[in-house]
Structures are given as C-alpha cells and as structure tokens.
Amino acid sequence: MYALTLLLALAAQRPDSLAAQVREYVAVDTSLLALTHVLLVDGTGGAPKSDQTIVLRAGRIAAVGPAASVQIPAGARVMDMSGSTVIPGIIGMHDHLFYTAAGGRAVQMSYTGPRLYLGSGVTTIRTTGSRSPYAEINLKDAIDHGLAPRAELGAAIQEAHRRGIKVTGHLCSVSFQEAVSLGIDNLEHGMLTASDFTTGKPADVCPVNLMTQISAADPKGNAGQATIQSMVQHHVSMTSTLAVYEPFVANRPTKDERVLQAMDPEVRDNYMKMRQQIDSSGTGWVSQEAFKKAMAFEREFVAAGGLMAAGVDPTGIGGALAGFGDQRNYELFIEAGFAPAQAIQIMTANGAKILGVAQSLGTVEPGKLADLVVLRGDLTADPSVIRSPTIVFKDGVGYDSAKLIASVQGRVGVN
C-alpha cells in the first residue's frame, strides 16, 4: 500500500486577515519583533547557541546572532526570552487530520487537529493519507483482491514521477529494498514495517510473523546494513514514527496527563483499559526488543548518511495525539542516542529538504519564513522542555500555545 502526500501549511495568513475566532489565539502580531537572549537550536545540526537575538520583519527572519552584536531595528518590539529555547517550527512528515483510537473510534480532526499541531509547535505537516470514505474503501478492496502488489506500486511511482510528484510508502508486502528498486522516494515508519528482515517471505505478501522477526533482527547485521545501504545509495529518505508505536509496547511511559486530558472521556477510558491490558500482560503488539531495534536502525541509517524526518501518525490505539506525538518523538530520539541538535534537525530541516521547501523553511536563518517555537526552559539539558511551548510563530504571527491546547480539552476523538 502506498500514499501520495500533500503538504499542508497551517495558519499562513497575516494578522489583519485572520478571522475573529483565530485572532483570539494570537499573542504577538507586530510586524517587527526582536526575540532576545534565547538559547537557539537552529535546525542545521550545528551546536546550540546561547544568548542569541532573532529579529523578525514582515513574516520573515531578518537577522540572527549573538545578542551583543545583532542590531535591533528602531521601532521593533523587544521580547526578552531569557530562560527560553527557540527551535524552528516542527515539520510533521507523517501526520494526519484524522484520529483513530482504542474502542474503534475514528474521526476527522477538523477542529482539534490544527489546534493541537500548531499549539505543540508543528507549523507544517505532510498528510500521509486521508479517510475519504470511497477512496479508502476502494483501495482496501483492491488490496484485499491482490490488485496492489509490486507491479501496481511501480506503475504508480512511474506515473507520479512523470508528473513531478514524489511517492512515499507504508509498506510490508513489498520490502524496503524492493521499493527502492522500484524508484520510491521515501519510506514510512522505519524498521517496524520493513519485511527485509524476514526469511522465506512470499512475494508481495506481508509476513504474519513480522514483529517476531524484527525482534530477533540486528540492524547492524547483513539484512539491516543491506537495507540501509540500498536506501542511502539511492537517496531514499525515511520517516520515523516512534511515537505511534510506543503505546503498543508494554511498560512504557505512555500516560502523559496532557494527552489524557485532551481526549474525549470515552476515548480516554478505552485507551487506559487497553494500556492496562498491555502493561499487565507484559507483552504488546510491539515488543520492547522490536522497539529498541527500531531505534537502533534509525541511528544506523542516519550514521550512514541517510536523510530521516519524523511524524506522529495519530492513529493506532490513540495514544499518540496530533502535535503531542510529534513532541514525544524528540524525547524518543534523545533516548535512542541522538544529540539534541540532531533530533531537532531531523524534526525540522530534514523534513523541509524532503518536501523541497528548504529554501524557506526548516532552519532559523535570515531570509526564511518566521516559523519558530519558543520553549520554556533549556531543551539541551532537559528533553521534556519540548512539551513546553509558550509562543509558536507561523509566518511571523505568534500564537498562544496554552490557549490553543486549552481549546481542545476533552474533544480529541469527537471533532
């Protein structure tokens, strides 16, 4: 199965064009602004820089540098951000505007989705599939009847490339290496959907023992290294979605109070029952071993020169919410062994590169769009600071994160 993707930029209007119901979330609407004395993790992968000043003018970044040397323009509003970290707006590369949860709940997030993404610091998303009923029913029927194996994927890739469109895939029946040979541009979810590690796999069939095989696999072994080298050599990027798999793993920290409060009460009850069942049994659909192997595979991929981005995929049993799950990916990258600057680069600049918009998004550099996240605290010292946005700038307009998040309380799983 494959998905053609759509780039969605959130809240791209200027302040004077915003509707009243949007303006209530705006905290900063000046066209000339200086954020001073920030700790900057700029998305380039370079070392974090302390005591920096960022000047925003008319929706773009006008200047960045040490607070002692950056000239603040006359008439600029100055905001002292001492004690805060600034990162580029997060680019969610496997995000949806629908949500699924334990108990069978499945809804569009027309209301909660944009607010959760923006309030969490996600300023741009790539939608990797929708719940358009007829399209999804027809696709499922085609797969069930064997009409979407490698030949169909290859044909779709060729036609997409003919039209100048990139293709990404959530695969299993087709292995990563097979997809690379067909010319795919990106692969979703990482090792946990890669059937390259199974033995005796029938052609175009997803192995029933996929997770068992992955639990026993070695990312540094022959199959792992062959898969990684195939992707790197053919410039095939990969999207990490660790946050959506974590709730399936027993005894993981998957009961974030913010997440539970945002859920509809019935959704929350069903999720907690599912989590209790997974934790009490000690075994989930994804084993601890498989989850750690997926982390190791991602480290190996990046170390080999692979281009990796990240997204939340707010599906599964509902524990990875829009925005919150994107934030959780940062903490999981740190747990996996990535440095803070690497993790932010994966979540920002790398997504922009894959989407072909790196000239305007993904890093904090002069001339780029002013998509920024102000976090309370030192992100390099404490990974949980990623959960503490105060202001999220989109095209230079600063949105109040707390107000956006408060507006969805108890509504995730409803609208």
What residues have CB less than 8 Å from 104, skipping those under 6 apart?
A: none
Q: What is the distance between the alpha carbons of residues 138 and 130, in angstroms, rounded to a whole number?
A: 13
Q: 7-52: per-residue pLDDT in tens? A: 444 444 556 667 777 788 999 999 999 999 999 999 999 999 999 9
What residues have CB less than 8 Å from 237, skipping those under 6 apart?
A: 185, 186, 187, 231, 306, 307, 308, 309, 350, 353, 354
Residue type, 107: V
- Are 283 and 365 in contact by the 8 Å Cβ rule? The answer is no
Q: Which of 355, 235, 227 is nearest to 296 (CA)?
A: 227
Band (330; pLDDT cuts 50, 70, 90): very high
Whether the predicted pLDDT of 142 surpasses 50: no
Q: 53-75: per-residue pLDDT in tens? A: 999 999 999 999 999 999 999 99
Whether the predicted pLDDT of 123 surpasses 80: yes
Q: Measuring CA to CA, how many Å separate 109 from each of 112, 412, 415?
A: 5, 8, 5
Helix axes 324-336, 288-303, angle to 10 degrees: 80
Q: Which three-class secondary structure string do you get for 360-371?
A: CCCCCCCCCECC
Map residue 328 onto helix, strand or coil: helix
371 alpha carbon, distance to own chain's centre: 16
Q: 358-375: per-residue pLDDT in tens? A: 999 999 999 999 999 999
Query: Strand pairing partners for 386?
Result: none
Length of the chain: 415
pTM, two decimal places: 0.91
Q: 215-247: per-residue pLDDT in tens? A: 999 999 999 999 999 999 999 999 999 999 999
Question: What element of type H or E holds 35?
Answer: strand 32-40
Place of tokens 């907690």: 272
Q: What is the pLDDT of residue 143?
A: 34
361 alpha carbon, distance to own chain's centre: 15
Q: What is the distance between the alpha carbons of residues 376 and 69, in angstroms, rounded to a whole number?
A: 24
Map residue 246 onto helix, strand or coil: helix
What percent of the chain shows pLDDT beyond 70?
A: 91
* Burial class, 281, CB count within 10 angstroms (exposed 0-12 / middle 13-18 / buried 19+): exposed
Residue type, 365: E
Q: Which of 3, 95, 98, 113 is nearest to 311 (CA)?
A: 95
Whether the predicted pLDDT of 5 surpasses 80: no
Q: 249-303: per-residue pLDDT in tens? A: 999 999 999 999 999 999 999 999 999 999 999 989 999 999 999 999 999 999 9
Helix axes 340-347, 324-336, angle to 10 degrees: 140
- Are 169 and 152 in contact by the 8 Å Cβ rule? The answer is no
Q: What is the distance between the alpha carbons of residues 337 and 343, in angstroms, rounded to a whole number?
A: 9
Q: What is the pLDDT of residue 131?
A: 66
Map residue 283 onto helix, strand or coil: coil
The per-residue pLDDT of the chain, averaged, comes to 90
What residues have CB less than 8 Å from 216, skipping those under 6 apart?
A: 289
Q: What is the distance between the alpha carbons of residues 380 and 40, in angstroms, rounded to a whole number?
A: 10
Q: What is the pLDDT of residue 3?
A: 39
